[in-house]
């Protein structure tokens, strides 16, 4: 069994909750209230800036230059490709640029920055993997089951698309390769990091659905 298959099995209950979350169910049928989508897009724009930093930081820990290049390319895509999608939504929905990270976004980005800064390349890669893989799975699921026409079609197409799929395949293959030579203690830490990030993915959707705010 590939290591990533073990990861998938370990976090499957969390993934199922993400797929069934009202945010994704309503995105799928296009009935998600626009104010929740706007909240999500704004939070995600804050998320992507730190996600890119975490990817670049993880890359500096890679043993080989190809892995470094791949992580730098992932970081670049997070800013140039995923952000481009956000920019069009910022215009369409007139989303303003002022605001702070909600608690869910704050927790998730801080985790990614911390795992990429203070853990090994192996653990950092596993901690960053849900950002790729869960989005791909959610994108594919929504694409296959969506109600058409759907107000959120561009978002759905981006994460169910081939360009994103190629990055996900690359991240999965790096993770499998480095897990092969990792000790069992490191593999356990990789699994823990993967599960933590998967939980934070759930929290991020949930935060958007609830329009989560800090206590005042
Ligand atoms: C919260 C979150 N996680 C993952 C992705 C996909 N890179 C994203 N755009 N936002």
Tell whether 167 is covered by a domain: yes
Tell whether 50 is covered by a domain: yes
Q: Domain of 115: which CATH number?
A: 1.20.910.10
44's tokens: 């995600």
Which long-range contacts does 112-115 make (Cβ < 8 Å, 24+ apart)? Answer: 112/50, 112/51, 112/54, 112/197, 113/50, 113/53, 113/54, 113/57, 115/54, 115/193, 115/197
Q: How far apart are alpha carbons 11 and 146 in whole angstroms?
A: 24
Q: Structural domain tally of the chain? A: 1
Q: pLDDT of 83-127, one tens digit each?
A: 888 888 999 999 988 899 999 999 999 999 999 999 999 999 999
Substitution candidate for ligand 1 out of 15, 27, 37, 47 with most atoms within 8 A of CB: 47
Query: What is the average pLDDT value for the chain, to the nearest integer?
Result: 97
pLDDT score for 83: 83
Torsion of CA 13, 23, 146, 97, to 10 degrees: -130
pLDDT score for 42: 95
Tell whether 101 is covered by a domain: yes
Tell whether 215 is covered by a domain: no
Q: pLDDT of 148-164, one tens digit each?
A: 999 999 999 999 999 99
Closest among 95, 87, 103 to 38, alpha carbons compared: 95
DSSP secondary structure letter of residue 46: H
Tell whether 216 is covered by a domain: no
| Ligand 1 pocket check for 18: Cβ under 6 Å | no
Segments forming the whole domain that contains residue 191: 3-148+155-209
| Mean pLDDT (whole number) for 34-46 | 96
Angle formed by the axes of helices 83-92 and 34-59, to 10°?
A: 160
Tell whether 214 is covered by a domain: no
Tell whether 195 is covered by a domain: yes
Q: pLDDT of 17-32, one tens digit each?
A: 999 999 999 999 999 9
Distance 148 CA to ligand 1 centre (A): 23
Tell whether 67 is covered by a domain: yes
Q: pLDDT of 52-92, one tens digit each?
A: 999 999 999 999 999 999 999 999 999 998 888 888 899 99
């Amino acid at each position: 069994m590939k290591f990533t298959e073990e990861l998938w099995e370990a976090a499957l209950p969390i993934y199922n909750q993400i797929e069934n979350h009202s945010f994704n169910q309503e995105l799928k049928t296009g009935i998600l209230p626009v104010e929740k989508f706007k909240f999500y897009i704004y939070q995600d724009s804050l998320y992507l800036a730190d996600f890119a930093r975490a990817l670049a930081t993880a890359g500096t820990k890679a043993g080989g230059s190809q892995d470094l290049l791949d992580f730098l390319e992932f970081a670049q895509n997070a800013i140039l490709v995923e952000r481009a999608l956000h920019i069009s939504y910022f215009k369409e929905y007139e989303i303003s640029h002022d605001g702070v990270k909600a608690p869910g976004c704050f927790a998730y980005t801080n985790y990614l920055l911390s795992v990429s800064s203070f853990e090994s390349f192996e653990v950092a890669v596993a901690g960053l993997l849900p950002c790729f893989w869960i989005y791909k799975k959610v994108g594919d699921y929504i694409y296959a089951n969506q109600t058409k026409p759907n107000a959120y079609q561009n978002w759905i197409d981006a994460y169910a698309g081939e360009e994103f799929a190629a990055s996900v395949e690359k991240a999965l293959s790096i993770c499998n390769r480095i897990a092969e030579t990792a000790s069992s203690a490191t593999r356990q830490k990789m699994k823990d990091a993967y599960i933590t990030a998967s939980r934070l993915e759930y929290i991020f959707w949930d935060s958007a659905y609830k329009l989560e705010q800090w206590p005042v």
